[in-house]
C-alpha cells in the first residue's frame, strides 16, 4: 500500500513541476520561468527552465511507475529527478519555490542517506 502512495506522490510531484514551469508568465506572477539570477532573462533562460522542468517531470513519473512495478531502478530515477528539480528551483530561486526545494532536498536525503527506500520496496 505504501508503495502505491509514494509512487503517486512521485508522479504528482513531477506533474506539479510541469504546471509550475510551463504556466504562461504574467506580470503579477510570483516568479518567472524566463528570469534566472544566474542566467539572466530572456528566451535562453526560459528554454533552460522548461527543459529542466520537463526532464524532472518525466523522470519523476518514470520513477513512480517503476516503483509500482517493483523495479529496483526507481531509486536512482527518483534521485535523478530530485536533483534536476532542485537544480531548476535553485537556478530560478524565489521564496515561492521553498516548498519545492524542501521536497526535493528531503527526497534526496531520504533516498541517499537512509535505508527507507529499501524497506519500502521490500
Q: Which residues contact 119 (CB under 8 A, 6 or more apart)?
A: none
**Where is 39: in which H helix or E strand?**
none
Residues facing 40 on adjacent strands: 36
pLDDT of residue 44: 94
pTM score, two decimals? 0.92
Helices (H), the chain: 2-22, 43-68, 74-91, 98-113, 116-121
Residues facing 41 on adjacent strands: 35
10-residue averages of pLDDT along the chain (122 residues): 93 95 79 88 93 98 96 95 97 94 96 83 58
pLDDT of residue 122: 56
Query: d(Cα 55, Cα 84) in Å, to the nearest integer?
Result: 7
Amino acid at each position: 500500500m505504501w508503495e502505491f502512495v509514494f509512487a503517486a506522490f512521485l508522479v504528482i510531484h513531477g506533474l506539479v513541476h510541469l504546471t509550475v514551469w510551463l504556466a504562461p508568465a504574467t506580470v503579477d506572477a510570483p516568479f518567472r520561468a524566463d528570469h534566472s539570477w544566474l542566467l539572466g532573462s530572456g528566451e535562453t533562460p526560459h528554454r533552460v527552465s522548461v527543459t529542466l522542468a520537463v526532464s524532472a517531470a518525466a523522470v519523476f513519473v518514470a520513477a513512480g511507475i517503476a516503483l509500482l512495478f517493483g523495479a529496483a531502478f526507481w531509486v536512482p530515477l527518483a534521485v535523478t529527478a530530485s536533483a534536476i528539480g532542485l537544480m531548476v528551483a535553485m537556478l530560478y530561486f524565489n521564496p515561492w519555490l521553498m516548498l519545492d526545494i524542501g521536497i526535493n532536498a528531503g527526497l534526496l536525503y531520504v533516498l541517499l542517506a537512509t535505508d527507507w527506500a529499501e524497506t519500502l520496496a521490500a
